Amino acid sequence: DGGITQSPKYLFRKEGQNVTLSCEQNLNHDAMYWYRQDPGQGLRLIYYSQIVNDFQKGDIAEGYSVSREKKESFPLTVTSAQKNPTAFYLCASSIGGKIDPQHFGDGTRLSIL
Amino acid sequence: SQQGEEDPQALSIQEGENATMNCSYKTSINNLQWYRQNSGRGLVHLILIRSNEREKHSGRLRVTLDTSKKSSSLLITASRAADTASYFCATDLKAAGNKLTFGGGTRVLVKP
């Protein structure tokens, strides 16, 4: 079955450490997205990519970095510059532009040790 | 604040009742989407309504859009315990490039 796989499901970060969240899709979608969700809140866009080797900052990109070297992969690195990284991180993909429904992975929950 | 704001923030109903939630937005949109999120899971797309449409149906779901009031509503008829989830609207702003803006969600509890 086609879908989006996020790993790991749970991740713990130490002070000063960078951590990378994985997102892989086999839907052959061009566009991919990373969102952050805080408890009881909606989603805020971190980064998005419409095509391989290209990505744009979303509303809260500071302290995060991404790469899009392959169509099926869009990893997110939470750097030590992100002072409040504890959140639920969701990856999504869509066929193309924003009119297309987004398909979501089941998220990674990041906590601080 | 986020573009889409859902109302109410939380809703508790009995199985078999209808659930209605609303989404308001501030600027012009191309389309509006509704998503469902079960606890601890990713979002699932429910329905998309374009700015030139007024109403759409999908199974027990009915979505309306009033662009003059900048609002949309999602109605779930004959609710079931399995409908317990958070529901989010996502707006496709004309001025926002290739991205959606999500609201804060309505948490729906359907009691058996």
Q: pLDDT tens, A51-96?
A: 999 999 999 999 999 999 999 999 999 999 898 999 999 999 999 8
pLDDT tens readout for residues B79-99: 999 999 999 999 987 776 668
pLDDT tens readout for residues B49-71: 999 999 999 999 999 999 999 99
Q: How far is B21 from chain A (nearest CA, A)?
A: 15
Mutation target to probe the B interface, by most B beta carbons within 10 A, among A99, A103, A111 is A99
Q: What is the pLDDT of residue B4?
A: 66
Q: How far is CA A18 from the centre of its chain?
A: 15
Contacts of A101 in chain B (CB under 8 A): 33, 45, 48
Question: Could you write out the DSSP letters of every residue in chain B?
Answer: --S-EEE-SEEEEETTS-EEEEEE-SS-EEEEEEEEE-TTS-EEEEEEEETT--EEEETTEEEEEETTTTEEEEEE-S--GGG-EEEEEEEEETTS-S--EE---EEEEEE-
**Encoded tokens for B100:** 């959606």
- To the nearest whole number, what is the mean pLDDT of chain A? 93
Residue B99 forms contact with A (CB below 8 Å): yes
The CA–CA distances, whole Å, from A4 to A48, A49, A53, A78, B28 equal 15, 15, 19, 20, 31
Q: Between vectors from CA B89 to CA B112 and to CA B106, what angle results, nearest 5°?
A: 35
